[in-house]
């Protein structure tokens, strides 16, 4: 049956759906699934690219920007050094027995945060051949890495923050934590 048309006195004509065949409600694409609400979490700036991080590290290597950092503890098996560059970049670098190891975090002046593990080398599409991107090892040459290590070891030092008392206090012994109780066996039986 064709749709019913109604002509009004003013001359307009409306087409109404066929009253004998009402439309069916649409089924959801996935049965029983409710649509996810939009994410309203405030998002910060996007992370800087690996190339931008490498360019900031090259500025540190070249001496174009002043640098301040925590002292490297060479006797530690793994030490994290905070680095402040004069152009607004901040870095956290891992050192292994006094040797430059890898970049952990890079904070761009605009607030973007690059973290170890957020990129793949050569890219995300390389499949199993892709490895975690480390700008120090993948984007700097061996000579630039050596210069970066020399620059970070010889830069102006900032004092490390004090270690919280929680980590320096002596821990109680097991005897203090669990006092010897002669009667526990008798009470348990």
- Write the pLDDT tens digit of every residue in 31-77: 566 777 777 777 788 889 889 999 999 999 999 999 999 999 888 88
> Measuring CA to CA, which residue among 4, 21, 1 is closest to residue 13?
4
Angle ∠(92,97,102) on CA atoms, nearest 5: 35
Query: How many residues comprise the chain?
Result: 189
* Cross-strand pairs, 83: 69, 91
In a domain, 41, yes or no: no
Q: How many domains does one find in the chain?
A: 1
Ramachandran angles phi, psi of 100, nearest 5°: -55, 125
Portion of the chain with pLDDT greater than 70, in percent: 74
Ramachandran angles phi, psi of 105, nearest 5°: -145, 145
In a domain, 94, yes or no: yes
- Is the separation of the CB atoms in 106 and 48 below 8 Å? yes
**pLDDT exceeds cutoff 70 at 127:** yes
Least confident of 15-19, 36-40, 111-115: 15-19
The SS3 call for residue 117 is coil
| Domain span including residue 108 | 50-157
Q: How many CB atoms lie within 10 A of CB 50?
A: 20
Extract the tokens encoding 86: 């004069």
In a domain, 28, yes or no: no
In a domain, 131, yes or no: yes
| Confidence (pLDDT) at 62 | 94
In a domain, 118, yes or no: yes
Please, which pLDDT band fits residue 119 given cuts at 50, 70 and 90? confident
In a domain, 31, yes or no: no
In a domain, 76, yes or no: yes
pLDDT tens, 84-103?
999 999 999 999 999 999 99
In a domain, 186, yes or no: no
Beta strands in the chain (DSSP E): 4-7, 13-16, 67-70, 79-85, 90-96, 99-107, 113-115, 120-121, 131-132, 156-158
Across the chain, mean pLDDT equals 80
């Amino acid at each position: 049956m064709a749709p019913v048309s109604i002509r009004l006195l003013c001359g307009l004509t409306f087409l109404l759906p066929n009253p004998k065949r009402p439309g069916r409600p649409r089924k959801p694409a996935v049965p029983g699934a409710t649509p996810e609400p939009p994410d309203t979490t405030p998002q910060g700036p996007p992370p800087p690219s690996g190339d931008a991080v490498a360019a900031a590290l090259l500025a540190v290597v070249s001496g174009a920007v002043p640098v301040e950092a925590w002292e490297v503890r060479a006797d530690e098996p793994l030490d994290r050094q905070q680095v402040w560059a004069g152009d607004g970049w901040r870095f956290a670098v891992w050192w292994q027995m006094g040797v430059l190891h890898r970049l952990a975090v890079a904070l761009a002046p605009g607030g973007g945060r690059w973290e170890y593990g957020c990129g793949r080398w050569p890219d995300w599409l390389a499949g199993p051949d892709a490895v975690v991107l480390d700008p120090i090892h993948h984007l700097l040459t061996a000579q630039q890495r050596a210069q970066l290590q020399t620059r970070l070891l010889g830069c102006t030092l900032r004092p490390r923050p004090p270690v919280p008392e929680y980590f320096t206090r002596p821990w109680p012994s097991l005897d203090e934590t669990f006092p010897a109780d002669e009667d526990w066996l008798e009470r348990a039986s």
